[in-house]
Amino acid sequence: MRTAGSGGEREPEPMWQPDGWDVRVRLGVLTPHADVGPESELRAMAPADVGVHAARVPFGAMGARGAMDPTIALAPVRAFAEPPYVDDATELLAAAPVAAIAFAFTSSAYVIGARGEAAMLARLAGRAHGLPVVATCAATVEALHVLGVTRLCLVDPPWFDAELNGLGRAYYRGAGFDVPYAAPCGLPSGQGLIRPAALHDWVAPRVPDAAGAVVVGGNGFRAVGAVEALETTLGRPVLTANQVLLWAALRAAAAPTDGVTGYGRLFASR
C-alpha cells in the first residue's frame, strides 16, 4: 500500500501491463528461416494465454527478407525435413519450457509422403527428449477424420507448381481421401501479395459440390484471415496449414482448443 502524500491522499497503485509471462501453455514452432507467416498466423489465432515460440530452420529456396522464386524447387523442400538443421533446431527449442513442438512446413510432406513424414516426426520427437511433435499434413489428416470429411478440395500457394500440387493430391489420396479438385492458387506468387479477400474470391467459386471441406496448404500462405468468411460462403469446413497446426499442437499439449474463435469450426469440434 502506498503511503499518504503531504496532503493526506494515497498515491494511486501502479498499472501493471501484460508482459507475456502469464500463459498456461507454451508452444514451440519450427519455421523456415526467412518466413514470418507461421508465427504471424499462429499468434493471431492463439488466445492470450498461449505462448508461441519459434526456432528458425534454414530453407534453401528462401533468400533475404523472404524472397522466393515464382515456384519452389523440390530439392530444398525435401532437404528442409532432413538432418541436421531441423533436428538441431528441435533439440534447442525443446530446451525451452514448451509443451509441444509444431513443424510449420507443408510441402516436405508432399515430397516425402506420409511414411516419410511419420519417420521424420519420430526422429524429431527423439531429439525433443519426449516432447510431442506435430506436423501440418498429418494434423490435416487427423482434422479431416474428426470432422468426418472424406472428400476435399485442395488449394496450394501460387509458388507450388503443378508437380508439387500433384504430390499433395497424392498425399491425401494415399491417406484415403477423394480429391475432386486440386490446384495451386491463381493469385500472384509472393507472400506479401496475398490478401484474405482475394483468396476468398479465388477459392469460393472453384470448390466442387462433391468436396466436403477445403484444405489450403502452405504454412507461408496467408490464409487464416479468410477461414471464417469462406466457411460462411461455402457452408463447409475450411482447413488451413497454420490453423490445423495450432489445433494439433494444443491437443498435443493437452490444452483446450475451444478458446480459439473466429478461425473455423475445427476448434469447436470434439
CA distance 176 to 173: 5
Please tell me the predicted confidence (pLDDT) of residue 149: 98
Give yes or no for a contact between 241 and 214, defined as CB atoms under 8 angstroms apart: no
Q: What is the pLDDT of residue 9?
A: 79
Q: Is the pLDDT reported for residue 6 higher than 90? A: no
Q: Cα separation of 145 and 142, whole Å?
A: 5
What pLDDT score does 91 carry?
98
Which regions of the chain does DSSP assign to beta strands (E)?
A: 25-32, 50-57, 100-103, 133-135, 151-156, 178-184, 213-216, 238-240
Q: What value does the CA radius of gyration of the chain take, rounded to a whole number of Å? A: 20
Domain regions of the chain by residue span:
25-268
pLDDT at 68 over 70: yes
* From 13-17, 172-176, 207-211, the region with the lowest mean pLDDT: 13-17
pLDDT for 98-137, tens place per residue?
Answer: 999 999 999 999 999 999 999 999 999 999 999 999 999 9
pLDDT tens, residue by residue, 158-184: 999 999 999 999 999 999 999 999 999
d(CA 176, CA 243): 22
pLDDT at 270: 76
Residue 7 has pLDDT above 80, yes or no: no
Q: In angstroms, what CA-CA distances link 122 with 16, 29, 76, 179?
A: 43, 16, 21, 28
Say what the pLDDT of residue 11 is.
83
- Global pTM? 0.94
Q: Residues 201-211: what's their mean pLDDT?
A: 98
Q: Which of 60-69, 122-131, 202-211 has the lowest mean pLDDT?
A: 60-69
Q: How many CB atoms lie within 10 A of CB 146?
A: 14
pLDDT beyond 80 at 3: no
Which fold would CATH assign to domain 25-268? Rossmann fold (3.40.50)
Say which residue the cell 487464416 belongs to. Answer: 224
Cell numbers given for 48: 492470450
Instruction: Tell me the average pLDDT across 31-51.
Output: 97
pLDDT surpassing 60 at residue 1: no
What's the CA gap between 22 and 265, in Å, rounded? 27
- Position 46 confidence tier, pLDDT thresholds 50, 70, 90: very high
**pLDDT for residue 4:** 52
Instruction: Classify residue 47 as exposed, middle or buried by CB count within 10 Å of its CB (0-12, 13-18, 19+).
Output: middle
Q: Distance between CA atoms of 80 and 219, rounded to whole angstroms?
A: 13
What is the enclosing helix (H) or strand (E) of 1? none
Res 79: pLDDT: 98
| Range in 9-23, 63-77, 139-153, 172-186 the model is least confident about | 9-23
Q: Name the amino acid, one letter, at 222.
A: R
Confidence band, pLDDT 50/70/90 cuts, at residue 12: confident
